Amino acid sequence: MKKINWSKVSLIGIATLLLWLKTYIAYKTSFEIKIENWRQEFILFINPLSFLLFVFGISLFMKEKNRSRYILITSFFISLVLFANVVFYRFFNDFLTIPVLFQTSNMSDLGSSVSELLSFSDLLYFTDFFILVLIVFLKPKSATYHQFSKVDRRAFFLVAIAIAFFNLGLAETERPQLLTRTFDREMLVKNIGTYNYHIYDAFLQSKSSAQRAMADGSELVDIDNYIHANYKKPNDELFGIAKGKNIIMISMESTQSFVINEKVNGQEITPFLNEFIKDSYYFDHFYHQTAQGKTSDSEFIVENSLYPLSRGAVFFTHSGNEYEATPDILRGKGYFTATLHANNKSFWNRDIMYESLGYSRFYSLPDYEVTDENSVGWGLKDIDFFEQSIPHLKDMPKPFYAKFITLTNHFPFELGEEDQFIEPYTSNDKTVNNYFPTVRYTDEALKVFVERLKEEGLYENSIIVLYGDHYGISENHNKAMSEFLGEEVTPFVSTQLQRVPFIIHIPGQEGKTISKVSGQIDIKPTLLHLLGIETKDNFDFGSDLFSEDRMEFTVLRDGSFITKDHVYTKDICYDKKTGEPTDVSACEPYIEKARNELEYSDKIIYGDLLRFYENKDYLNQDLFHKQDTE
C-alpha cells in the first residue's frame, strides 16, 4: 500500500481535524455520557473519525472549486446535525432519531420552549465552519489544491475503513451485542459516534418501514400466548363497580410524584391533590413509561396498554394502524368518547391518531376562546381550559369518556406573578425553580374543575382518573434536584423520579393508598374492569391494578424495570431498600421478560399486527364524528 502524502490532504485534513475535535469537545461538555474506564474514553475520542474521513474523502474525486464548495457545505451540515442533537439533549436528555425529525409540524407550536434552550454562545458550535470559510477565501499554502491519484484515493479510504473496523471491534469488545440494544441511544453514540449512529438509525427506519409490508398474522401467535399467560383475574369486589358511569380522565402535564405531599418555601406544592387522594385510590409507586413521544406516548400507552416505540412517536409514525384502544371499546359499549385539548388539532398528529383510537369527537383549539390574557407558555391556562370545557361536558351524550390534556405545567414553566400561588424555588437552576409554581397552578386548576363538576351535577356519576404523563425535570437538572431532595441523584434515584401520580376517584368509595409497583400500561385493563368489561381477549401488556395476584413488575421504555424489591437500570441491579447496587442475579429472572415485552409490543406496532386480529366484536362501525367546529 502506497504511503499517503498527508501534506496533500490540506483542506480535507483541516476540516476533518476541526470537526473531530469539536465533536469530542461537545461529547464532554454538552452531553452526559457516562465513561467507566480509559477504553471507553478512547472509543469516545476516535468514534467520529472514520465517518469524517469517509465523508470528506469524497471530495478527493472533485476539482478544486467543487471540492472547496463540497467541504464547506458538508462541514456546515454535519455541524448542524451535531448542534441539533445538543439542543434536543438539553431538554429531553436524548439524541435525535429520524422519526423525531418527521415531527416538524410541531415546531411552529414550540415557541418559548425552543428559545429557552438557545443562547448566543451556541454560535461556537459553528466556529470550525467559519475557520474553513476564511481558509477557502484566503487560500494559504497549507490548503492549496492537489490532484490525487487512484492509489492515493485507495490508500485514503483503506485507512478510513481500517479505523472504522478498529472502532467497531473495540466497541463490540466493550459492549457485546451493541447494535441489538437500539433502545439505548447513549450506548450507541458512546461507541459508534453520533454520526454513525444517525446512519444506523436510518437503517432501522428502513427496516421498520419494511416490517409492515412483510408482516402476517402468524406473528401474533407467540405474542397472544405470552399475553394470555400473564393475564390476571380481576378483583371480584371491584369488577363492574363503576358500570355505566362517566369517565373523566385528566393527563397532568409534566407532573412527577415527588411533589405530592411536599412543600417548597414552607408551602404545599399540591394542596388539592394531597386532599383528593385521601378520598381516592392513590398509587404511589406508579411510573410513566414514555419515550421520545412524551405526552403523545403517554396517551398511546394509556389507551392501548402497549409500549411506545423507542424512536419517535407512534402518533406520527403509525397513526394509520389498527388498535383496540379504550375509546374504541367504550364507543362499542354505548359511550360517547371525546378528547379535549386547547391546542392545534394537528399537534402530535392528534387529529389523525384520535380517529384510529376510536374517539367520537376532538375538542381542539377552535372550540375554545384563547386570548393573550388567558394564555401562557404553550397556550390556554389550565383554569380557563377547565372552565371553558364544562359546557362541552354538559352537552355530551351520557355516558361519556372524556380525556383532558393540561398545558400550563409545560417546559419552560412560564407563569405570570398574578397566577403564582407559591414562590419559585431558590436554586441556581431556573427550570427547577419555576417548576413548582406551575405545578401548584395546575393543582389549583384541578380544584376549581372538581368544584365545577359538583356544581353542575356531574361529579357523583363520574369516575375521575388523574395521571402524570411524563417527567418534567430531566436528568440535566440533577444538581438542583439533589439540593431539593437532600440526596445525590444516582441512577437508582433517577429511576425513582420517573414515578408520576395516578389517582382513581370513584364516588362512594373510601380512599386508599396502594404501594404496588405499577405503570401507565396498567390503566386500560384497570379502568375497563371497573366498568365491568372483560379484557381477557385483549392484547394488553398491562394488568388490573386491583387484581389480587398481580405481579409487581413495571418496564420502562429504555429497558429499565422495577420489581417489588429491585430496580434495574443501566445494566445495574439495585436493592430498593438500600438504593445500593446488588448482585445482578437478583434481577436476572426479569431481564428476559422485560426484553420480550418491549420486543413483542414493537412487533405489534411495526407490523400493524392487530389488523389480523378478528376477535373485535366490541367495535361498532360508526365513523369518526368530525363535527364542524368553525
Determine the pLDDT at residue 216: 83
* Residue 8 pLDDT > 60: no
**CB atoms < 10 A from the CB of 421, how many?**
15
344 or 547, which is more confident:
547
* Residue 225 pLDDT > 70: yes
If you average pLDDT over residues 188-210, what whole number do you get? 81
Which pLDDT band, with edges at 50, 70 and 90, does 181 fall under? low
Question: Is 180 assigned a catalytic role?
Answer: no
**Is residue 414 within 8 Å of residue 376, measured between CB atoms?**
yes
Strand 361-363 relative to strand 336-340, pairing: parallel
* Residue 617 pLDDT > 60: no
Determine the pLDDT at residue 6: 40
Q: Dihedral angle at the C-alpha atoms of 545, 549, 550, 552, nearest 10 degrees?
A: 120
If you average pLDDT over residues 565-588, what whole number do you get? 95
Distance CA 206, CA 51 (A): 20
Task: Tell me the pLDDT tens digit for each residue of 347-405.
Answer: 777 888 999 999 999 999 999 999 989 988 778 999 999 999 999 999 999 999 999 99
**Is residue 347 within 8 Å of residue 407, measured between CB atoms?**
no
The three-state secondary structure class of 575 is strand
Helix (H), strand (E), coil (C) string for 302-365: HHHCCCCCCCCCHHHHCCCCCCCCHHHHHHCCCCEEEEECCCCCCHHHHHHHHHHHCCCEEECH
pTM: 0.77
272 or 200, which is more confident:
272
**Is residue 594 within 8 Å of residue 561, measured between CB atoms?**
yes
Distance CA 47, CA 192 (A): 5
**CB atoms < 10 A from the CB of 117, how many?**
17
Determine the pLDDT at residue 478: 93
Peptide bond into 501 cis (omega under 30): no
Closest CA to 516 of 560, 568, 562, 485: 562
573, three cell numbers? 441491579
**CB atoms < 10 A from the CB of 473, how many?**
21
DSSP letter assigned to residue 60 = G
Amino acid at 453: L
Q: Where is average pLDDT lowest: 12-16, 171-175, 437-441?
A: 171-175
Helix, strand, coil proportions of the chain in percent (round to 5)?
Answer: 50, 10, 35
Strand 581-582 relative to strand 572-575, pairing: antiparallel
* Residue 4 pLDDT > 60: no
Which pLDDT band, with edges at 50, 70 and 90, does 177 fall under? low
Task: Tell me the pLDDT tens digit for each residue of 116-160.
Answer: 667 778 888 899 899 988 888 776 555 555 677 788 888 889 999
CA distances from 17 to 12, 20, 75, 409 (A): 9, 5, 11, 44
The continuous run of DSSP H or E covering 129 comes out as helix 127-138
* Residue 175 pLDDT > 50: yes
Which pLDDT band, with edges at 50, 70 and 90, does 186 fall under? confident
**Is residue 259 within 8 Å of residue 439, measured between CB atoms?**
yes
Helix (H), strand (E), coil (C) string for 503-544: EEECCCCCCEEECCCEEHHHHHHHHHHHCCCCCCCCCCCCCC
* Mean model confidence pLDDT for the chain: 88
Which pLDDT band, with edges at 50, 70 and 90, does 421 fall under? very high
* CA dihedral for 425, 429, 430, 431, sign (positive or negative): negative
Determine the pLDDT at residue 102: 58
* Residue 543 pLDDT > 50: yes
Q: Where are the domains of the chain?
A: 6-211, 219-612
**CB atoms < 10 A from the CB of 432, how many?**
22
The three-state secondary structure class of 157 is helix
82, three cell numbers? 451535531
Which pLDDT band, with edges at 50, 70 and 90, does 208 fall under? low
* Angle, helix 38-46 to helix 150-174, in steps of 10 degrees: 150
* Residue 627 pLDDT > 60: no
CA distances from 352 to 250, 315, 319, 349 (A): 21, 8, 6, 6
Which pLDDT band, with edges at 50, 70 and 90, does 621 fall under? very low
DSSP letter assigned to residue 520 = G
Contacts of 353 (CB under 8 A, 6+ apart): 296, 314, 315, 319
**In terms of CATH, what superfamily is 219-612?**
Alkaline Phosphatase, subunit A (3.40.720.10)
Which pLDDT band, with edges at 50, 70 and 90, does 268 fall under? very high
Question: For the purposes of burial, counting CB atoms within 10 Å of the CB of 33, is it exposed (0-12), middle (13-18) or buried (19 or more)?
Answer: middle
* Angle, helix 194-214 to helix 185-192, in steps of 10 degrees: 130
The three-state secondary structure class of 531 is coil
Determine the pLDDT at residue 440: 97
**CB atoms < 10 A from the CB of 1, how many?**
8
Distance CA 294, CA 291 (A): 6
252 phi, psi to nearest 5 deg? -95, 105
If you average pLDDT over residues 467-485, what whole number do you get? 94
**CB atoms < 10 A from the CB of 267, how many?**
12
**Is residue 490 within 8 Å of residue 254, measured between CB atoms?**
no
Q: Which of 194, 295, 337, 408 is catalytic?
A: 295
If you average pLDDT over residues 198-218, what whole number do you get? 78
211 or 100, which is more confident:
211
**CB atoms < 10 A from the CB of 169, how many?**
10
Determine the pLDDT at residue 2: 47
The continuous run of DSSP H or E covering 197 comes out as helix 194-214
In sequence order, what are the beta bridge partners of 465?
249, 504
Distance CA 525, CA 515 (A): 18
85 phi, psi to nearest 5 deg? -65, -40
If you average pLDDT over residues 166-177, what whole number do you get? 83
Q: Where is average pLDDT lowest: 146-155, 329-338, 570-579?
A: 146-155
Task: Tell me the pLDDT tens digit for each residue of 299-330.
Answer: 999 999 999 998 888 888 888 899 999 999 99
Distance CA 590, CA 568 (A): 9
**Is residue 155 within 8 Å of residue 4, measured between CB atoms?**
yes
